[in-house]
Each structure stands twice: as structure tokens, then as C-alpha cells.
Amino acid sequence: MARDAGRPLRADAQRNRYKILAAAVRVFTEEGLDAHFERIAREAGVGTGTLYRNVPTREALIEAAYMFAALSGIALTSARPEQREQAERLLDLTLDGLRPTPPQAPDI
């Protein structure tokens, strides 16, 4: 069931979303952007159904995790080095995913 966009999330749903995004940042920085949704859900302490209700696609999860990291203030200004490193790694992975792959010359 889709949530009414004008209605705020319940407190438990907000907590789950926070846990999912924090876990996604950690898992993506450790395992890369191809990390399994099941691994992220386990790290967040939620079921995969809860994860998919919050972010139905990998692209949506990557975008939300990046925005979460940036808006949480853990991007380059954090006093905690491990959080800054996570944010920098996630940014690098995100940018790498956006760069076009150069064409390869055919083998002759």
C-alpha cells in the first residue's frame, strides 16, 4: 500500500528508514554499490519487505543513502574520521557508477 505523500511517517517507520539508510551507507562503503539488499536489511535490523517498501530499487537506495550521508553532516565536515571516510567512499562509488565506461578497442 502506497503511503499518502502529504502524511508524515509514523515514528516507527521513521526509525526504520533511518536504520536502513545508515546501514546502506555502511554496507555500500564496505562492499560496494552491488551489495545485496538482504545484507543491508540484516545490518539495519529490518526485514527485506521493510527495506523494499522504503526504497524499491537499487538506484533509489543509492541516491537516498548518498543524500542521507550528505544531509546527516557526515560528509567531509565530520569530526569522526570513520564517518568521513565512509561518506568519501560512498561518494567515490557513486561517481564511479555515473562515469561512462570508455569504449574498448577491438582485439586484432
pLDDT tens, 28-75?
988 988 999 999 999 999 999 999 988 889 999 998 888 888 766 655
This prediction's pTM: 0.64
Q: How many helices (H) and strands (E) does the chain have?
A: 5, 0
- Cα of first residue to Cα of last residue in the chain, in angstroms, is 55
Contact 71, 49 (CB under 8 A): no
Whether the predicted pLDDT of 98 surpasses 90: no
Q: Report d(CA 101, CA 15) in Å as an integer.
A: 38
